[in-house]
Amino acid sequence: MSTMADDPRVLADRPGLIGTLATYRSRIARGDIGQLPVLIGLLVIWLVFYAASGGTFFSPFNLVNLALQMAAVGTIAVGVVFVLLLGEIDLTVGIVSGLCAGVMAVLNVKMGLPGPVAVGAAVVSGTAIGLVQGLWITRFRIPSFVVTLAGLIGWQGALLYVLGSTGTINLRDPFITSLAGTFFTGWVAAALGVAFVGYLVGTSYLVRSRRLTAGLGAESMSTLAVRSVVIAAFVAGGILALGQDRGVPLSLAFLVGLVVLMDHVAKRTRFGRMVFAVGGSREAARRAGIPVSAVRVAVFALASTCAAWGGVLAASRLLAVNQSAGSGDVLLNAIAAAVIGGTSLFGGRGTVWAALLGILVIQSISNGMDLLSLDSSVKFMITGAVLLVAVTIDAIARRGREVAGA
């Protein structure tokens, strides 16, 4: 027989620290740990690199560099989150980003097309690539791993073909270079921060109100108030620190804006609900009347579109496109960012915010180790260890949810 103490709604509405801890203890017991491990891990990473670098890690100059480094791969990781929500994988997002950047460079530099037109063509090219791969996967019922593995090889060849014998194309178009070369300071940066905090806080309170209206458990007002203050302080501190150097990068604003938009799509649109349904159980979704194949194709198109935009941002930051664009650790970091941020590899569970948190973890590690002049070998090993820990936590949490639901 249940008691009031067992009612999650009662626990959630108990004021103060006791109620908050009771809520989190209940969630952890059910395997619903959310993004708490990521936040704790990020805090530890920052403290370690802050101490090891003698405070240089948190210098305004380095924080601006960190923000610039996050933008491109973080954008790619947003698309990867949707693919993982389906329980699929896309191994082409890295090389597609490089190929689409190559298309942009060729159209702008060699063919003389205006920067906006070249960028638009690059993004459309990414969408087309995703559509082809998604249709191939669904039409012939080939595992996404196999199709995208073939794409990883094929699109690499396409990039070499597009660039031709030139090998490297330097970018000078003001529109293209401004994508990563524009910074906001003063009231513009403050307005961006207020809008971001307002969205997060407003959404949290709206969700709480709706859950209580529906008779579901919800966080206490004291918990929401504390979290709102922490978020506001973090954003304000970040904007002030960035403002002491060049300011808030436009590319970072693009990334955060994309995360906000895709979070809305995932949580508050019919398409987003279908993605979660298909990822949770493809057969159940099909019996519920959801067009499973269409959803899968759309997600792969979305992932390649995000990859194309990420490639454009990377090219804008580097002011060039070459034969290694999109290769190296781009693919691994994009997937790692989504997984480390809390998106389940088993499908049907995760948030778009995972991309932002995950790339912050990945890039903080990379940036911190660069400050310490550590070898690339050490960087890869540490990043791999962090990814393994994240996947292990996800597997344990999944098993806990299964036990709790049994």
Say if residues 160 and 103 touch (Cβ distance below 8 Å). no
User: What residue type is assigned to position 98 of the chain?
Assistant: G
Among the listed ranges 42-51, 150-159, 185-194, which one has the minimum average pLDDT value?
Answer: 42-51
Q: Is residue 14 in some structural domain?
A: no
* Residue of 286, 162, 185, 302 lying closest to 244 (CA atoms): 185
Domain that holds residue 375: 37-185+246-405
Q: Assess if residue 220 is contained within a domain.
A: no
Q: Is residue 11 in some structural domain?
A: no
**Any domain includes 16:** no
- CATH classification of the domain holding 391: 1.10.3470
Residue in the structure block whose two tokens are 């459309």: 124
65, 69, 248 from 252: Cα distances, Å: 11, 9, 7
For the question of whether the overall pTM of this predicted structure is more than 0.75, the answer is yes
Give pLDDT, residue 2: 41
pLDDT digits (tens, 9 = 90+) for 199-215: 989 998 888 888 888 88
Distance, in Å, from the CA atom of 128 to the CA atom of 124, rounded to the nearest integer, reads 6
Instruction: Give the tens place of pLDDT for each residue, 125-154.
Output: 999 999 999 999 999 999 999 999 999 999
Which helix (DSSP H) or strand (DSSP E) does residue 269 occupy? none
- Is 221 inside a domain boundary? no
Mean pLDDT, rounded, for 361-384: 86
Q: How many CB atoms lie within 10 A of CB 129?
A: 26
Which of 170, 178, 155, 181 lies closest to 110 in space, CA to CA?
Answer: 170
pLDDT tens digit sequence for 44-85: 889 999 999 888 999 999 999 999 999 999 999 999 999 999
Q: Is residue 360 in a domain? A: yes
State yes or no: pLDDT of 26 exceeds 90: no
- Return the ∠ at Cα 379 (arms to 55 and 76), rounded to 5°: 95
401 Cα distance to chain centroid: 24
Q: How many domains does one find in the chain?
A: 1
Alpha-carbon distance of 162 to 158, in angstroms, equals 6
Specify if 126 maps to a domain: yes
Angle (CA) 165-171-173 rounded to 5° is: 135
Q: Is residue 174 a part of any domain in this protein?
A: yes
